[in-house]
Structure 1
């Protein structure tokens, strides 16, 4: 990254001023608050200024869970090719409402195979639900913002003074922002994972075990950090640490055993149907080819179709990184980063690459993994990856403010 800055800012004084700005936590915090406020306002203004619009309730599911759908909520009616049928935020909302009532009566309409294991986010939100339905919605906002900001402070603490500026890129991640706009679990999972890793480095192993277990229960991508970390401790013959890393599986394991008693058909292998190696990319390129050959010059539609191109370039850039740098340094993070990219290559078309929101969420965890990797390996040429991330952030904000139009909806 430092080599990229030297090329981009050959003047050492400019480079020093640039890094000084990024190293200023107060200034970056203000930028963070402005960025997230602007993003929420861009959504709310399209839907009667209702914070419930970020939950993405779909009418199909609201009808089946009427008693837990908040009065006055924005409920989407459904349109071809968008999120009109609702999105994952509503799943976590209804899941949390169930837990707030100390009940395990599964919300109607949602299958259990890969939703039920992800209890971490709804569980943490559930205490807010004791203050009502809008308490749950407020809790989803607070949890996304709060855990993410705490994890930013944790990353700053782990980085040496010369690299603390990189933590700003983490806080201004377009993928974390995208997760927040949908109030889904990716940013919460990432924040818990980073806090768990901070606890591990600080030798607060009980805290690590609990946070890592919660991170895995929030979303399975957390193992992209903890599995390589466990292997690293084994290779280094730090067996006590290996046991503590393995202990992160206690909570997910116990919950999985319970799920087998409630949903006998459930199995961890049920996640395998999400993946179709290279099928997602092939399907997306086929979609682009069809759009170009059709002669349709609908500008907004073409922007939406080509919005995933920067993500394809990011995938290529990340693949390039896997084969560069010092292989003796940060090997666990190289492995975790590689596993993450492998899932992007293996992601199917319908469930991932057909939708910008779905495929972009696959890259959320890449940023902390890359930061930890760079902390160990100064020779990693990561500048292009970070530059593409910045381009994705700008394009996402433009899409949010000017391209995305209100979807068909009603006020519940």
Structure 2
């Protein structure tokens, strides 16, 4: 496969035509609208054309939060091998409803270990909730799409003209699309981080600090950009910038101190319970081996099992990139990219590698990190990584359109 991709990428004429098309912001925007509209269409048509289907309410949690579950919502009953009693989007919905009512009471049924710190996304959605429960759902769509597109414009503005086409890779990220389909926090976190970095480059440090703090409160992966950025500013003896980068921790630290008063058992170290170095990968390979040895001819089941394999190839491709290019350029992004890959290697099986949705979200932030890295380093051989990302995007669309079947559900 790698040999074929290398030959494909060496076709200079085709490469030039692709770069020209991908560098056209109007064309890219139109494709983006079509791509996301088609993806929502594929989901909504299975569930009575209800936008609530992307929130992924689970009956177990809807029963515990009846007053905040919108009438007519699609509520999933749970099936073995699928998303169980809903998915993370419902957590942010109920969390946001709490904030819309100017309350900090925790929604019923949800554990707090690594959910409660992530107040950024529901906090930003909460003003929409003042207009009702369905408005909260609309707000989740608007926030995902709006911040994502604004951050695309920010990335495009930061890139030099010969590399502006890279911004389209950001907009067509299969991981951002997967996050949108589930209305979870990854794309919002990534968009806030990119916007924060763009203000940092322009020396607008107060805005940077606020956006970066919100990004970290949205999901901890934002640190993969800001921690290396802080280290590099220290190394370069730009101490004022280092202090501003450190100031991005003010909001997360204040919120963490509050959580300790409300949930004494909560600690930031609890996040470490979800990692098992190489345990996730070994568990996945064991799953594949069992499927091959068993001789199971259920095509849909086999496709689902092998849907994670391109992510393994992407992980290997990213690891290869870590040892290539010019080490003098883009060191902060190389370090952030490496930390992200390390978490993928360390991700456990049950909570990460057992499902495509969970493990693919670990790669979401790799896209802007790699784009910023390439901006600094012209020698980085990233073609294979981008080609694999494109293959994953096509595979994801095929899965949405033809493979994913309606889950057991009811209309609330």
Aligned residue pairs, count: 409
Distance 1:376 1:308 in 2: 31
Q: Deviations over 1:160-200 (max 9, x none)?
A: 00000010011000000000000000000000000000000
Report the counterpart of residue 382 of structure 2 in structure 1.
Answer: 382
Report the counterpart of residue 332 of structure 1 in structure 2.
Answer: 332
Report the counterpart of residue 280 of structure 1 in structure 2.
Answer: 280
Distance 2:270 2:84 in 1: 26
Residues 193 and 212 of structure 1 are in contact (CA less than 8 Å); yes or no, is this contact kept in structure 2? Answer: yes
Greater shift, 292-301 or 394-403, is seen at 292-301
Report the counterpart of residue 237 of structure 2 in structure 1.
Answer: 237
Residues 9 and 383 of structure 2 are in contact (CA less than 8 Å); yes or no, is this contact kept in structure 1? Answer: no
SS of aligned partner of 2:305? helix
Report the counterpart of residue 31 of structure 1 in structure 2.
Answer: 31
Asked if 1:80 corresponds to 2:80, the answer is: yes
SS of aligned partner of 1:113? coil
SS of aligned partner of 1:410? strand
1:113 CA drift (Å): 1.1
Q: Deviations over 1:45-94 (max 9, x none)?
A: 00000000000000000000000000000000011010131000000000
Residues 209 and 247 of structure 1 are in contact (CA less than 8 Å); yes or no, is this contact kept in structure 2? Answer: yes
Report the counterpart of residue 399 of structure 2 in structure 1.
Answer: 399
**CA 1:363–1:112: 2 relative to 1, 3 Å:** same
Asked if 1:248 corresponds to 2:248, the answer is: yes
**CA 1:384–1:13: 2 relative to 1, 3 Å:** closer
TM-score in terms of structure 2 length = 0.98
Asked if 1:187 corresponds to 2:187, the answer is: yes
The equivalences for 1:164-313 within 5 A come to 164-313=164-313
**CA 1:14–1:350: 2 relative to 1, 3 Å:** closer
Report the counterpart of residue 362 of structure 1 in structure 2.
Answer: 362
Distance 1:304 1:6 in 2: 27
Residues 84 and 408 of structure 1 are in contact (CA less than 8 Å); yes or no, is this contact kept in structure 2? Answer: no
**CA 1:351–1:5: 2 relative to 1, 3 Å:** closer
Q: Deviations over 1:353-380 (max 9, x none)?
A: 0000000000000000000000000000
Gaps of 5+ in 2: none
Q: Deviations over 1:250-270 (max 9, x none)?
A: 000100011111111110001
Distance 1:306 1:16 in 2: 33
Distance 2:113 2:18 in 1: 47
Residues 6 and 384 of structure 2 are in contact (CA less than 8 Å); yes or no, is this contact kept in structure 1? Answer: no
Distance 1:234 1:25 in 2: 36
Report the counterpart of residue 8 of structure 1 in structure 2.
Answer: 8
Distance 1:8 1:277 in 2: 35
RMSD of aligned Cα (Å): 1.2
1:208 CA drift (Å): 0.2
Residues 226 and 245 of structure 1 are in contact (CA less than 8 Å); yes or no, is this contact kept in structure 2? Answer: yes
Residues 326 and 377 of structure 2 are in contact (CA less than 8 Å); yes or no, is this contact kept in structure 1? Answer: yes
Residues 291 and 302 of structure 1 are in contact (CA less than 8 Å); yes or no, is this contact kept in structure 2? Answer: yes
TM-score in terms of structure 1 length = 0.98
**CA 1:371–1:26: 2 relative to 1, 3 Å:** same
